[in-house]
Each structure stands twice: as C-alpha cells, then as structure tokens.
Structure 1
Amino acid sequence: MAIWQVLNNPVDIYCERLDASFWSEPLNALSNAAFPLVALLIWRVMRARGPISGMNTVLTGLCALIGLGSFLFHTFANRWSEWADTVPIWSFVGLYVYAALTTERGTSRRYKVIAAILISSVTLTVLFLMATGETTDANAADPLNGTGQYAPALIALLIFAAASWRLRLPQAPWVLAAAVTFLASMAFRTFDMALCTSWPTGTHFMWHILNAAMIGFLLMARGMARPAVRPATSAR
C-alpha cells in the first residue's frame, strides 16, 4: 500500500461523525476556534505586563497551532491530519515542561540539554504509541475512549499544581485551575461515544473548549511567574 494511501486512511472515533464528509463534525471542528482566541487573549495580557520572552511567544503560538491541527483532524479525519492534531499538542506539553524545569533549575546549558533529551524521548514515545493504534476505531471498545493516553499529562499537571501550591509560588492558583479544567475536559472526551444515543452531537467539542482554557491558565501561570514591568514615572 502506498504511503499516501496509508496517510489517507479514514479515522472515525467520535460520536458526531456519521460519514467521511468534510463537515461531518461541525461542532468538533468549529470549537477549535477557542485555541487561537485564547492565544490572542493571553498575548494581549502578556504584552500589557511587559516584554514577552521568546519561550512564551513560542508557547502562545503553539496554542493557536493546536486549534489549526485539531480543525484539520476533525474535518479531513484521516491519518495525516491525525498527526497534524497530535504533534502540536505534545510539542506544547514537552516544551512547557522543559520551560518549567529550566526556569526552576537555572539556565545551565548541560541541564537544558539533558532535560530536552528526556522530554523529547517521552514526547516521541507518546506520539509513536498514538500513531500505532491508540487513536483508532478500536476506541469504541475502550471504556476511556482513548483518553488514557493523556493520563501522564494529567499526573504531571497535578504534581506541578501540588508543588506550586506547596512552594507558595505566585502561579499556583493558575496551575491548579489548569489541572481542574483538564480533568473536566478528559471527562467530556471519555463520555463522547457513550452518550451518542442520548446526545447525538457528542461531547468532544467540550474537550476543545476546556483544553483551550486549560492552556490559557498554564500560559497565565508563566506570565505570573514574573512581576509586571511598569513604565517608569517621571520625577516631580
């Protein structure tokens, strides 16, 4: 089978999709607008607080890119668009964790290289598992509907929230809000197929909306990690 044929293999794992047409998942597709909207809002908030770091710029851009990738997946619904969906997500996860580690542990080049290798390895492993069968039609028989693949991210986020709260960091409330929001979004993703008979549109679109909010909270946590830069006032 040609590579292009493999990449065009259809993927149908959501309640809303009834056929292979482009607009078969209108709610799942259009709800991805939440990501670029959140990215724009956070960008404006960060700009108001002072100069934006390169890392925060990339993370905010990835937030918008997640929406685009997910839109492609919920319209084309095939293997290549599945990669367009998952790569920005796990890129954000890996880069955010790397940014958090390097912020807390200093800027040693050696430490950055080790952290980057470890995070890249975990991210590539997750992507490999997803590409080789985690998000297939077999999810219909999975009680978690494929949501189990995000369990490591939830655990990491809960640990991050607990550590931030324990250390009384200024970003702790935002990280906690992100963890609670992500837990709720995972519930909506899990019950999507189970509620098909009573709710034909499914609940997956709420996974997008809540995840956009969760990423917004995480980006705000990075913004709150440093004090706002106020313009100097002239002496009187």
Structure 2
Amino acid sequence: MDWTAPIDIYCERLGPGFWAEPINAVTNLSFIAAAIWAWVEARQRAEPNRLVWVLIALAFAIGVGSFLFHTLANRWSGLADVLPIWTFVALYILIGLNRLGGIRPGRIALGVVALVGVITIWRAMGEGSPPQDAAPSGPDPFNGSLQYLPAVIAFAVFSVLTQVQRHPLRWLVLGAGVTFLVSLTARTLDRDICASLPLGTHFLWHLLNGLVIGLVLQILIRARDARTDVAGRV
C-alpha cells in the first residue's frame, strides 16, 4: 500500500497542491474552536474526569487530522483524519452512557464499542481507493457517509435515553443529533453537486460537525451538574 498516493474525492480539490482545498482546510478551525470552548467550560467547572480531558484533546486532534487530510490528501493523512474521530466516538459513548444515562458500561460494552471503532476505521481507510466513480458496482450513493452510521445510532440512543429520563439536557442532545444529520447530508451531497457548485458542500460538514462536537462536549461536561436533577425526576 502506497501511503503517499494522492486522494481526490472532494469537489473543491482540482489538483495535487497543498492549498488545493483552502476552504475545506481552513474550516477545520471549527473543531479547534470546539475543543477550546470545551476546555474553558471544563476548567471553570473543575472537571475531575481525565477521560473528558482526553475527549477535548481528541476534538483538537480531529481538527489537525482533518486539516492534514485536506491539504496533503494522501493515505497516511487520511488515517490521521479518521483515527481521532472514531477514538472520540468510542470513548464518548462509554463516558456518555455513564454520565447521561447512569449506566456503567462493563467490559462487554467496551469490547463492542472498540470493535465498532476498528471496523469503521478499516472501512474509512479505503476512502478514495478505488475512486468511487471507478468502483465495479458504480458510485457509492452515500458518498462514503455510511461509515458514520454508528454515530447516527449513538445519537438516536442518547436522544431516546435522555428523553425517557426527562434529562435537563435532553433538548440539547436532540439538537446536536439533528445538526449532525444536516452536516452528514452536506457531506453526502458534496460529490454530486460539483457541476452546479464547484466549491462543494464538504466545508459545511466541517462547520456543522465542529458545532456538533462542541455541543456534545458541553453536554458531557454540564451533565455532571445535572445528575442531581435527573435523580429527582426518575
């Protein structure tokens, strides 16, 4: 496998240059902003859980990894893009089950989440090879967005869980889930809208997903103070 082989799967990229996707590259600042927002909030609330701080660091790493992928656009930078994302998702699910749902995930849950993460990373590593328009079965109608199905399922689970418990943050959880669906739609449409919108819509995926990560981190950090209210409602 050639880890430096170029990948070209976005509307904005018209060549192999470092700044061939300037908007897609710069909009990764949204993830950095989400990490800074969470860091400020966690510090103000004296967040005691080290894993929450790891999540904040992973949010920052998502911005860096995605920037590398949209500038260098090769296989190794693609791996730098997906590894922080799915490590974040797996870790968030484990912490969220406890802090939002009051569930203590055991070793089985940890193994399942880890397995989902490994499978999804394996699928994502194949992004752009072979090119989607050259695949034997034709272009992927979802433009690679099916790899994010575990995240969609996780949002659905947390939304139902918090609504059933009448959690004080339940509407924020639902709002983050809806925002993620909109951002995923923007990612999916990017390839097919090139003719009418050469810039594409992938940059909206970055901006909206940066907001999503910012929201889910705020939810997790603030949920610690909301648990007393939840206990009184259940």
Instruction: Identify the TM-score tier after normalising by the shorter chain.
Output: 0.7 to 0.9
Contact residue 47 and residue 221 of structure 2 kept, 8 A: no
Q: Deviations over 1:117-151 (max 9, x none)?
A: 221111111111222x3443533422211111112
1:90-129 equivalence runs, <5 A: 90-103=86-99, 104-106=102-104, 111-129=105-123
Query: Match for 2:146 among 128, 145, 148?
Result: 148
CA contact (8 A) 2:8 2:128 kept: no
Question: Which of 8, 15, 21 is the equivalent residue of 1:19?
Answer: 15
Q: Given the alignment, which residue of 33, 39, 44 partners 2:35?
A: 39
Segments of structure 1 that go 5 or more residues without pairing to the other structure are 229-236
- Distance in 2 (alpha carbons) for counterparts of 1:209 and 1:52: 29
CA radius of gyration, larger in: 1
Q: Which residue of 2 aligns with 1:231?
A: none
TM-score, normalised via structure 2 length: 0.88
Cα distance in 2, alignment partners of residues 102 and 45 from structure 1:
20
What residue is the counterpart of 1:172 in the other structure? Answer: 170
SS in 2 for 1:227: helix
Matches within 5 A, 1:188-199: 188-199=186-197
Report the Cα offset of residue 161 of structure 1.
0.9
8 Å CA contact 2:116–2:150 kept in 1: the answer is no
Q: CA RMSD in A?
A: 1.6
Indicate conservation of the 8 Å contact 1:196/1:202, yes or no: yes
Deviation at 1:51, TM superposition (A): 3.4
Cα gap change, 1:80 to 1:176, in 2 (>3 Å): same
Taking the TM superposition and a 5 Å limit, the aligned residue runs for 1:46-65 are: 46-65=42-61
2:207 to 191, 206, 209: 209
SS at structure 2 position matched to 1:22: coil
- 1:79 pairs with one of 75, 78, 82: 75
Separation in 1 of the partners of 2:48 and 2:200? 38
TM-score scaled by length of structure 1? 0.87
Contact conserved, 1:12 with 1:137, CA < 8 A, in 2? no
Post-superposition offset of 1:173: 1.9
